[in-house]
Amino acid sequence: MQSFQHYIDGRFEDGAATFESLDPADGRPWALMPDASAADVDRAVRAADRAFTDPRWAGLTATARGKLLMRLAELVEEAAPRLARLETRDTGKIIRETSAQIAYVAEYYRYYAGLADKIEGAHLPIDKPDMEVWLRREPVGVVAAIVPWNSQLFLSAVKIGPALAAGCTLVVKASEDGPAPLLEFARLIDQAGFPPGVVNILTGGPGAGAALTTHPKVAHIAFTGGPETARHIVRGSAENLAKTSLELGGKSPFIVFDDADLDSAANAQVAGIFAATGQSCVAGSRLLVQESIREDFLARLKAKAEAVTIGAPDNMATEVGPLCTRRQRDRIEGVVAASVAGGARLVTGGAAIAGDGFYFPPTILDCSSVPDAPSVTEELFGPVLSVVSFRDEDEALHLANDTRYGLASGVFTRSLTRAHRMIRGIRAGIVWVNTYRAVSPIAPFGGHGLSGHGREGGLAAALDYTTVKTVWLRTSDAPIPDPFVMR
């Protein structure tokens, strides 16, 4: 089996213990991963804290930081095929998706490379004639970045890129599920020439995560994952009052009106729920379709779902691969069964595929008669689409907002006025109109409610890793009057 190491203070090293990583395609161990102890985490945080004030990093100009990020972008682009193969092997995500996504990750580092020397302060037109006052934007300090296994190189780039552009240092914890590509990415950090301790990468279970998020030297916690873990992080951060940014997934509505281009909407819906085997925080897992076109649209989706090629994730012909873990597959199967037992109509799929690996087929449930079915309300993180029909625009908006989440949404209509009304009314951080799952380093990404808070991507993310310092400079040469002499 292959073995991987932590990257701490500029050195590759073994963990306090190891654990086996399973290949989701056959369920067999294929690699040994380092399991970080609390002591490992402490060393990584202290290394990041030293690096934060080390002149080799703190003394760099913003332009110089940008050049390091640009070099990192070049290395990511060169290494994309190797990283894609590792991600496919360790997470089961199909090679056609990992190859395309990791190649695009380089654009995020390029964007933040260019942004590094454009994070500006401000001069204030203060109301005191003998004062000059300005604001400096300075890096917040040590960042704890915690990313899940799905799209981990993308989800780490939207944290590492802006944090480094701002001048912070980081400890990145990869998920214990499928951490290989992020541990391998550490080699690119090393090759790019970042000073020791600026970026540290390790992996481990909940104990490592708790040690990291409660560490007194961590100033900012950037987390992507589930709401329950986020609650533990927020509670733990109370001790050091670390700032938090949380991206927690969603139960995104995909709304199709009867005037939409149904072929286009069907293709977007299939991509929105079955791409990445449904393991995406923005998966369009709740289809809200106008009642008059429900059966027609369901027939289109059923045909497309049943035509999907399910197979080995390293085969370029495969369109849906395995889920990342056995527990995930088993949970999805249980929720689907409970929804059907509660009155949902199974349109296609519905049961795990027998044999090796963690495979679950594209599944469609018509929940129009049970809009509160578990598959409608719970984030499943798998290829399961729950369908609820609506009569008119008001009901569509009500159903779209009838969720504790608020990350993404999609609206398909040819009516420009209706699109604007829906944009205004939907409570979500992202609204895609007549498209779905489009992303860019230029555009902020994030939500509210159980989908978290804070934004990743764009200038907003870089500013989130800074703190504002207000500087007052007295311009008068006259002595300051004695405050205790009455005049």
CA nearest neighbour of 171 among 149, 144, 136:
144
How far apart are the C-alpha atoms of 356 and 378, rounded to whole Å? 27
Give the integer Cα–Cα distance in Å for 340 and 370.
10
Beta bridge partners of 264: none
- 32, 365 contact by CB (below 8 A): no
What is the CA 135 to chain-centroid distance, rounded?
A: 31
In degrees rounded to 5, what are phi and psi of residue 335? -70, -40
Confirm whether 393 is a catalytic residue.
Answer: no
Contact 214, 204 (CB under 8 A): no
CA neighbor of 85 nearest in space, from 75, 77, 73, 94? 94
Q: Which residues of 408-440 are buried (b: 16+ CB within 10 A; e: fewer)?
A: bbbbbbeeeebbebbeeebebbbbbbeebbeee
Q: Which of 87, 97, 184, 247 is catalytic?
A: 247
Q: In this structure, what token pair is assigned to residue 42?
A: 């402490």
Report yes or no: 87 and 153 within 8 Å, Cβ to Cβ: yes
State how far the Cα of 317 lies from the Cα of 109, in Å rounded to an integer: 30
Quickly tell me which residue has 């072929």 as its tokens. 263
Phi–psi pair at 141, nearest 5 degrees: 135, -140
- List the one residue out of 293, 260, 317 whose CA is nearest residue 436: 260
Active site residues: 247
